[in-house]
Every structure is written in C-alpha cells, then in structure tokens.
Amino acid sequence: MGKWIGVVFAIVLALRLWLAFSTPHLAFEGYEHARQVDHILATGLPLAYDELSWGGRQVVGTPVFDYLLAFFSLFMGSYALKIIPNLFASLSVIVVYLFAQMLTKKENVSLMAAGFAGFLPVFVQQTLLTASPLSLGVPLILFLCYALLRTKDKHWVTIYLITLLIASFFSPYILLFVFALAIYLALVMTENLESTRQELELVLFTIFFALWAQFVLYKDVLFFHGTNVFFNNLPLPFTVGGTSLLAALYLIGVVPFFAGILVMYQYFLKKKKKEIYLLTGIIITVAILVWLRFIPTTHGLVYLSLPFAILFADGFETVREWYKTTRLGEHVWLLYVVLVLVFYATSIQPAYGGALEGQPSAELREALDWIRTTPENSIVASQLQHGGWINTLGERGNVIDPHVLMVLRPTERYSAVQRLFQTSSQTEAVEIMDQYGATFVLTDQPLAYAPGKCFQERFTNQDFTIYEKSTLCRVREQ
C-alpha cells in the first residue's frame, strides 16, 4: 500500500473529527444509539423492548455496532459516539484506494479516487453525527467485493469468509451484496468471462449463508409483518420518500457520478472486466431497491456513492487518454486542476455544508428539556417527525415515531394523531389523547381547541408549545 494513502486517510479523519466536534450535539440517529450504548453499559444487554416508543414495542436489529460503541465508550466516554463512527467511515478511503489500484494499477489516480471518497456529500452527511452503522457497513460491503475478486490467492479466501461472517450479522444491507452477486454472475456468464469453480462456490455459499443469517436475525419481524416488511412495512405515512435525479446527483457527487456512468457504458458496450461488473451489480441493485422504495433513499445513495468513487478511477483514465490527444495534451496538470475545482464546488462544499443537518434546533431542545421535568410516566403526543426526539432527549413516552417495525396497526395510530392536530373539536382531541394514554401535546402549529378548558398551555417558545390535558376532562362512555 502506498504511503500517501495514509496521509489521505489522516486528512479525511481529521476534517471529519474537527467538524463533528464543532457542535456538542448529535443527529437524531446518534441519540438513538446513545440510548442503546447507555443500556449496554448499565446492564450488559441491548435495549430489547422500548417502553417509550409507541407505548411499548420490541426493538429489532443486530446490536453488534452498539456493542462496539459501548466497548470504546469504556475508554472514551461519550466521545466514542463521534470518534469511532468517523474512524470507521474514514476507512472507506483505504478500501476505495485498494479497489482503484486493482482496476487501474495507477497510484495517482487511485489516491485521487480515495480522496474523493472521503468527501462524498451523502456519505459525510449520513455518518458524521449519526453514529450510524452505515459508517462501517458500507466499507464492509465494498471490502467484501474486493476480497471476492482476490480469492484466487488462498489466504484471501479466509479473509473473505471472515468478512462475510461479520457483515452478515452486522447489517441487513448484506442483502445488497447478495443481489449484486446474482447480477454479477449473470453479467459474467452473458459476456463469457472466465469464472473458476472456487469463485462460483463462494458466491453460492455467500448467497445461502447471508439469507440464512438474515432469517435468524429477523424471523420475528417476518412473522409479525408478513410480506409488508419487504416494502419498508408499507403503511403510507412511513414509506421512505423518493428523490429526484438532480438531488441524487448532488448527493453522490457530480464528478464520481458522471465518471461512473461513462465506465459502465464502456464496459457494457465495448470492454469486459469482472471487477467493473461486480461494482455495476451493486449500483443496479441499490438503484432498483431505492426506486421500488424497499430501502430508504438516503441509505441507498450512501451505498451508491462509494462504488461510483471507485469507478471514477477507471473513468478518469479514459478521460486522461482522450485529453492527451487534444491541443492541450501536453498540459495534463490542467485536467487535474479543473477536476479538483469542480469536485470542490460540487462535492466538498455540499458535504460539509450539510453535514451538521439533522440536529435538534435550540427551540426543540428547550421544549424537550421541559418535557424531562414532567412525571416519568408521561406520554407526549406529537407529529411523526418529533416523536423520536421525545423518547431520546425528552426521555418520555411518545404516541408515534418513525420506527414502525413490530408495531401493531401503526397506520391507525398515525391517522388518529393527524386528527388530533387537525380537529377543532375539544371532545375529539380528548378522546384521542385518552385512547393512547397521552397527557401532553407537543406542537409547532396552532391547535384550534387549545388553549381551552381541557388543554392548558404549560410551555411555549418561538417554535413550540406544549399543552397538558386536564385529568378532569374525559369522554363519557356510552
């Protein structure tokens, strides 16, 4: 490995940590993982049942990442929630470098691809303050791809199997790799490329093992929700939103995106290379699953961004060879300068400009601080986007939040809360509050029935108001 990749890694990590510690706060997902870490440190076990969410729900998912954060928290305290995820995310530049070296055998191009990978807007925004498993999950999947392509060497078979074991029990996004392998095999066979028996056996083993691991981890979810779980549990209010092509282009980065498109075009119509087909399999898989809304758009774009960064290396080689045939061919340095400036304007600035998004506003934090002064058994009704904050920073129960797995009839609850914020009837509002045991309402919009006889204002600031329902107000049963 070239010595300069260590410098690139250090620069990316330093910039990430500098920005992460420029604010004392985390994004919403970061506080959720903080709750899990605190529970593991206190009991040795992850939080398996969340009494504060939806009036109580089973928490599903693998706790591997939270155990990692908890381990490092023993030495770093709460700083681990910022340091460790950013350390993992920075490892992506090394994986991209290794992959680019395999494709191009060019040190300078591989270093450039690695540097670009450290500043992809969507990857930075989704891993800087979120303490997200994506920070390790994405490099793991890419390293699996790299290791599979190196399995002609026997010791890489062992490395591949160990990585597969970790990735299979780390995140359900291992299924992206499984589907990508199916596309990869189809492309290799279609193009009549050589594939060894060992590679075929590893691919088949990977598919069956990863599917088995996900069934073991998520069988309760499958039995509870049935096939709806494959559609993000599909009640309409909770489905992930789509995004436009321009928004995706902005988040992935203009330079890697167009370079990647160029490379895929070349290798589908003119050239053949197995390494490109495996990355193409990842890209096609993620694009289809995002389009069908099987996975959240932002998560899908994260898994798209790094393969595009790798493909950039091969695409840049093509552009550079063409550039040498032009009148400016003797001044290749101009191409590098223009490329870096374009990347800075379209990727680095958006990446770090939007990296601090997702934090609670000062007004929301003030409202949540007040909620913590309420009785411990309080349940707060709010709009969907504020529900998670109530049980992470407010430390009180909510009626709804964005997590719907293992929740019975979530659409019914969502509709009831929508009526709570739209009705002008105080009687209907009291009925809905009593139905879900709620005693407070957190709102950022005027309520037609409050303040009133049954709803007294307890807190207000520039953006939020909290009303308490009087215990004397109840809807008489028929």
Q: Using one digit for the tens of pLDDT, what is the confidence trace for 426-435?
A: 999 999 999 9
What is the band of 418 on the pLDDT scale with cuts at 50, 70, 90? very high
Cβ–Cβ < 8 Å for 170, 62 = yes
Q: Residue 282 carries which side chain, given as an amino acid letter?
A: I
Distance between CA 2 and CA 115 in Å, rounded?
Answer: 14
Domain ranges of the chain: 3-353, 362-469
What is the rounded average pLDDT of the residues 294-308? 88
What is the pLDDT, as a whole number, of residue 233?
Answer: 43
What is the pLDDT, as a whole number, of residue 1?
Answer: 55
What mean pLDDT, rounded, does the chain reach? 86
What is the rounded average pLDDT of the residues 176-191? 88
CATH of domain 362-469: 3.40.50.12610
Nearest to 209 by CA among 155, 180, 150, 166: 166
With a cut of 90, say whether residue 140 has pLDDT above it. Answer: yes
Contacts of 273 (CB under 8 A, 6+ apart): 103, 267
Q: In what order do the strands lie in the sheet with 440-443?
A: 397-398, 379-381, 440-443, 465-469, 455-460
Q: What angle do CA 411, 412, 416 make, to 5 degrees?
A: 115
Residue bearing tokens 């928490």? 59
With a cut of 60, say whether residue 237 has pLDDT above it. Answer: no
Q: Using one digit for the tens of pLDDT, what is the confidence trace for 47-76?
A: 999 999 988 888 888 899 999 999 999 999
Q: What angle do CA 216, 64, 177 make, to 5 degrees?
A: 65
With a cut of 60, say whether residue 351 has pLDDT above it. Answer: yes
Q: Using one digit for the tens of pLDDT, what is the confidence trace for 19-49?
A: 999 988 898 889 999 999 999 999 999 999 9
With a cut of 60, say whether residue 400 has pLDDT above it. Answer: yes
Return the higher-pLDDT residue of 271 and 370: 370
What is the pLDDT, as a whole number, of residue 234?
Answer: 41
What is the pLDDT, as a whole number, of residue 166?
Answer: 94
What is the pLDDT, as a whole number, of residue 235?
Answer: 44
Q: Using one digit for the tens of pLDDT, what is the confidence trace for 197-219?
A: 888 899 999 999 999 999 988 88
With a cut of 80, say whether residue 370 has pLDDT above it. Answer: yes
Distance between CA 360 and CA 16 in Å, rounded?
Answer: 20
What is the pLDDT, as a whole number, of residue 245?
Answer: 62
What is the pLDDT, as a whole number, of residue 242?
Answer: 54
What is the rounded average pLDDT of the residues 300-322? 85
What is the rounded average pLDDT of the residues 348-366? 81
For 228, the token pair is: 């709806």
Name the strand (E) or helix (H) holding 457: strand 455-460
With a cut of 80, say whether residue 195 has pLDDT above it. Answer: no
